A and B are shown apart, each in its own frame.
Chain A
């Protein structure tokens, strides 16, 4: 079987799912960048 239709999942749901994982990731990266900046001070 070839299920070719991928547009039934709401784009809002996909965006929300990515936001859920990207928020903590961004927080972690932000803290790491703050730490990394000490190298250049």
Chain B
């Protein structure tokens, strides 16, 4: 069925430019990044009333995003090996289909006031689209850009950060348009977004190509004088799962993401609480916008930089500079300085996501890098639960004890600094993968 989706039909002909591949990957990541703009639907969903006048609670609506992110991590882990076998084009097609169908099923939930239908649509079906889509272009980009793997994967994962910037105004404007037109605004917006994103993602599906076996960039010679951490061997995904390196990198990503969520989760109230009377709610919304820009820019900047300075030193910068900056953040008395430091921290949060695929490629080779990346993303799911738990748990405690919230932030941010120290130690312990784990055959794997 649909043979053009097969890996064999997506092999590039001689002369195909590799610079068509990043736009294909971006089409997927810019689309699925919409999930981070889900908050624009929160208030409209809370305002929806059933026939008996009942409405959903904030907690119930909050589960929609949580389910989507949890399923993202799980599906990336589960479908990574399937993706290695079937190739990126089929994976992108499945991602586009699931992501779009998810919107449409969820639209039914908005019309019939059925939260389980929204959980199923946006959370589960859409979540599979997120997970498969997130890892789908990684290996292909690494194979097309063996000279600059950080730059290539950084570009794609930057798209995931940019997706929220598109999804947020798109969702808001579509709902406003359909409200005026007399349609159910959430359902109509979701159906429209499902169709638009499917078309946009099809651009990626039709554009993506895998390189022919043995292809390499013109004039490129693998650098033989490089870090011991950059492998010339491959490790199979199940084997990689049992190596200490996999779990150390898992901790590295988990700590980096948990710390970043510490700021993201509470960005708007934090700046208002720490600078009472100086930062309005409107200005705080602007602060969130600034952080989004740093998050997106950091994804490209740090992953590209890692091609020159190495992955391990890049994460060392995140953990050393990050720990110091998190420690100082609550004590900065100036709003511009606070914004700058928080922005730098968010750039390193984004950089942590985008540099990981190249780090995995360095350690385990590119043979199963998508599948290994997929399994590693479970650390994101864990961080997505642990980060908010720490932040909200401490804030709730302070509120319950009638202690001003601004006094909670130093503790929260110092804990985040501590998490980065744990990440630093994990990164420090990473060594080249032992020979016993290597695949004992020439690396002639499928892309």
Interface residues of A (CB under 8 A from B): 1-9, 13-14, 17-18, 20-21, 24-25, 27-29, 31-41
Contacts and interface: CB of A to CB of B under 8 A. Distances in A.
Nearest to B163: A28
Contacts of B163: 28
Given A32-B165, A36-B290, A9 B213 contact: no
B14 A5 contact: yes
A40 to B, nearest CB: 7
Given A3-B212, A5-B218, A32-B292, A40 B169 contact: no
Given A28-B166, A32-B165, A39-B289, 8 more contacts: A8-B14, A20-B27, A28-B163, A28-B164, A29-B162, A29-B165, A38-B283, A39-B339
A37 B286 CA distance: 6
Interface string B288-315: 1110110010000000000000000000
Contact of A17 (B159, B207, B292): B207
Interface residues of B, number: 47
A35 B290 CA distance: 8
Q: Which of A13, A17, A21 has the most CB of B within 10 A?
A: A21
Closest 5 CB pairs of A and B: A8-B15, A39-B286, A28-B165, A38-B286, A36-B289
B183 interface: no
Contact of A35 (B16, B23, B286): B286
B19 interface: yes
B30 interface: yes
A5 to B, nearest CB: 5
Nearest to A14: B19
B287 interface: yes
Interface of B: 14-20, 23-24, 26-27, 30, 159, 162-169, 200, 203, 207, 211-219, 279, 282-290, 292-293, 296, 339
A9 B20 CA distance: 9
Given A29-B165, A38-B286, A17 B23 contact: yes
Contacts of A29: 162, 165, 293, 296
A29 B19 CA distance: 22
B316 to A, nearest CB: 30
Nearest to A16: B23
A6 B218 contact: yes
B17 A6 contact: yes
B166 A18 contact: no
A33 to B, nearest CB: 7
A21 B293 CA distance: 17
A2 B214 contact: yes
Nearest to A1: B214
A37 B216 CA distance: 44
Given A20-B23, A35-B285, A35-B286, A25 B215 contact: no
Contacts of A8: 14-17
Contacts of A9: 15-17, 19-20
A28 B169 contact: yes
A7 B17 CA distance: 7
Given A17-B23, A39-B283, A4 B165 contact: no
Contacts of A14: 17, 19-20
A8 to B, nearest CB: 3
A5 B216 CA distance: 10
A33 B162 contact: no
Contacts of B282: 38, 41
A17 B20 CA distance: 7
A24 B166 contact: yes
Contacts of A25: 26, 30, 159, 162, 165-166
10 contacts: A8-B16, A21-B30, A24-B30, A28-B166, A35-B285, A35-B288, A36-B289, A36-B293, A38-B282, A39-B339
Contacts of B284: 39
A1 B215 contact: yes
A14 to B, nearest CB: 5
Contact of B18 (A6, A31, A37): A6
A3 B166 contact: no
Among A1, A3, A29, the one with the most B-chain Cβ atoms within 10 Å of its Cβ is: A3
Contacts of A37: 286
A31 B207 contact: no
Contacts of B162: 25, 28-29
Nearest to A41: B283
A21 B292 CA distance: 18
